[in-house]
Structure 1
C-alpha cells in the first residue's frame, strides 16, 4: 500500500481523526485535540527523518507508519522497552531499514512507539488492532482533559 492509501484508510477507520501535515509528514490526532501545546498523535506517517538515518527514509517511495502503543503491548511484541529519551537511536537488534516488518521505532521505542516501513496489506491487518488501541487511548486522554476542563479542575 502506498502512503496515501494508508492515510485514507486510517481516516476512514477513525472518522474523528484530525490529520496534520508538516513538512511532508502526517500526524493523526484523535477526537479533536485542539490545544496544540498538549496534543499527542496516536500515529504518524513519516516520509523523512532528519534526526535519524538508520531507516533510510530517503529511499524513493519509502515511508514509515508509526503507532504509539501501551507499554504492555510493546512488551508483548518486543520485550522490555529499551532505555532512552527519544534523542538517539536505540539498539533493539532490528534492521530499522527493513521494509514491511513490524519493529520498535528507532528513537521513540522507549516511549512505546513501534513502526513499519512500507507496510503491505497483511502487515496492515496486524497493525489495525494496535492502531485501534492507540486511537482509543488517545480518545480517552482527550475526554479526560475535556472533563477536567468542564469541571473546573
Structure 2
C-alpha cells in the first residue's frame, strides 16, 4: 500500500480535511511531507487531534518504526477502545510496552503489522509501518472506523 493510496482512500470519505505541510506554509519543519486527516465538513480546521496521520520521518522519542529508511512511512489511526482491544488484546490504558501477545522488548516495530502506536497507544491509537499485503484491509477498516468516530464526535458537538 502506498502513501498515495492511503491519501486517496481517506480523501474519498465525506467531510475530510487533509493537511500536508510544506516549506513556507508556517508549519513546523518536522511536519513537512507528512499528512494529517481531520473531519471538517465546513473545511475549517477543527480543534483537537486529527483522526489519522501519515508520517514519513522519526519524531522526537519516536524512532521504533525506523522511518529514516528510504520510502518508509507509518499510518497512525485514532482507532478507539474497541478496535484497539480487538487488534492488541488489551485495553489502551494497559499498553505501556505491551504488544499484541503481552510484553514486547524495546526495539523496532514490525512492518506491515497493526501495532499499538509507540507513543499514543495508551490513548487508543494504532499504527502500521509500511502497510502491505498483510495489513492492507486492516488499514482501510481502521481509517474508515476512525473517520466515522470523528464524524460522530463532530455531530454530537454540533
Taking structure 2 as the reference length, the TM-score comes to 0.77
TM superposition shift of 1:107: 0.3
| Residue 20 (str. 1) matches residue 29 (str. 2) | no
Q: Partners of 1:81 and 1:26 in 2: how far apart?
A: 24
Aligned to 1:125: 137
Using the alignment, how far apart are the partners of 1:16 and 1:75 within structure 2?
27
Shift in Å at residue 6 of structure 1? Answer: 1.6
1:46 aligned to 2:29?
no
Match of 1:150 in 2: none
Report whether the alignment pairs 1:64 with 2:74: yes
5+ residue gaps, structure 1, are: 85-89, 147-153
Runs of 4 or more consecutive aligned structure 1 residues displaced over 3 Å after TM superposition: 94-97
Q: 1:136 to 1:53 in 2, by over 3 A?
A: same
TM-score by length of 1: 0.80
Task: Kindly indicate whether the alpha-carbon contact (under 8 Å) linking 2:17 and 2:45 is maintained by their aligned counterparts in 1.
Answer: no
Q: How many residues get paired?
A: 139
Gaps of 5+ in 2: 22-31, 99-103
